Amino acid sequence: MEKICFALAVLIAAGPCAFAQDKDYPNRPIRLIVPFGPGSATDVSGRFIAQALGSVLGQPVIIENRPGADGAIGILAAKNAPADGYTIVQAGWTNLTVNPVVMKDLPYDPVKDFRPIAGVTRTMLGIVVAGDSKLNSLAELIAAAKQDQNRLDFGTFSAGYRLGIEWFASAAGVKIVNVPYKATTQIHLDVMSHRIFGTIDAMSTLGPLVKSGKLKVLAVTGENRLSDFPGVPTMQESGFPDYTMYGWSAIYTRSETPEDAVDRLVGAMQKVLRSDATREFASRRGSELNLRLPPALRKFQADELANFRRVAQVAGIAAK
């Protein structure tokens, strides 16, 4: 915790600094900050977007992973970068709509400090246990949790996933203990080896592990079943009619970034998102493309923030 606080303090002290915009933007590499570790759903999509966006802009887009503090370290790095269009961030639900609900004294304003460039993807989540678990449904999981007042340990690597599992626990009336991790890969290994009971994660990340039998998905959080796993019920079908949840990400930049750079980035991202390669990537990862333009994306963010405030209230989660 001390290391995280120190990192945040350094980033805050650095302060924002705007630079004049080059007329021939972009004329050098662009940095794409991913606020989560390698292997996470955001990282995987970020690397695809970086390569595709670089091809459209004619300049390399370099990934910089800045995990920690539920994505706040990466967001602060973007906030404190020069507002010249050469630093963008793949933000999303955790940074912009969950942290404002669960964190007190958030050192950034998710609305005022950043402006949306383009949506990327949204993906439903899955509640999973080890592939060789005897449990085959949420009903069986709930029964196991209630038997002798068993306590289930679930690993999560960001506040958004914790909120998702706490919401389920509250609605199901069971005790689940959140075990925080820095990256998703170690969570999956610990579930497979029964060091922890289970996890909730993006199906775009879980899919290969479920298909290989290493993990078993008990329910998905989307509005409809996932086409790759038609036998897996939704949370609504599993007895939770109000439970719908998606992880989503989008490209943002500093709010002070000059308009010509923003326009160039918006146009380039639309080309990336509407390409056949991107549609195939999203489909292969079990995700849906988010084609919203900046005004619609801003409204979507506001709606998501309101929804997570409601979820936190239902789950009894107070900001800390």
Of 2-11, 50-59, 165-174, 191-200, which gets the smallest average pLDDT?
Answer: 2-11
Fold category of 124-220 in CATH: D-Maltodextrin-Binding Protein; domain 2 (3.40.190)
| pLDDT of the residue at 22 | 56
Over residues 181-218, the pLDDT tens digits come to: 977 889 999 999 999 999 999 998 899 999 999 999 99
Domain ranges of the chain: 2-123+247-315, 124-220
What is the rounded distance in angstroms from the CA atom of residue 158 to the CA atom of residue 161? 6
Contact indicator for 221, 227 with CB cutoff of 8 Å: no
Nearest to 71 by CA among 107, 44, 47, 45: 107
Angle 230-233-236 (CA atoms, 0-180°, nearest 5)? 140
Q: Cα 243–182–51 angle (5° rounding)?
A: 85
Nearest to 235 by CA among 121, 126, 98, 123: 126
pLDDT band at 148 (very low <50, low <70, confident <90, very high): low
Per-chain mean pLDDT for the chain: 89
Q: Average of pLDDT values for 226-246?
A: 94
Tokens 């449904």 belong to 137
Same fold, 2-123+247-315 and 124-220: yes
pLDDT, tens digit, 9 for 90 and up, residues 238-279: 999 989 999 899 999 999 999 999 999 999 999 999 999 999
pLDDT above 70 for 18 = no
| Partners of residue 199 on adjacent β-strands | 128, 155
pLDDT, greater one: 239 or 313 = 239
* Architecture of the domain made up of 2-123+247-315: 3-Layer(aba) Sandwich (3.40)
**Could you please report the per-residue DSSP string of 43-77?**
HHHHHHHHHHHHHHHTS-EEEEE---GGGHHHHHH
Which pLDDT tens digit goes with each residue over 149-186? 777 899 998 888 888 998 899 889 998 899 999 778 89
Q: Assess whether pLDDT exceeds 60 at residue 12.
A: no
Residues 6+ apart with CB under 8 A from 220: 124, 125, 126, 203, 226, 229, 232, 233, 234, 235
Helix (H, G, I), strand (E, B) or coil at 263: helix
Given a cut of 50, whether residue 14 has pLDDT beyond it is: no
pLDDT(24) > 80? yes
pLDDT at 304 over 50: yes
Name the residue with higher pLDDT: 170 or 115.
115
Reply yes or no on whether the pLDDT at 1 is more than 50: no
Above 90 in pLDDT, residue 284? Answer: no
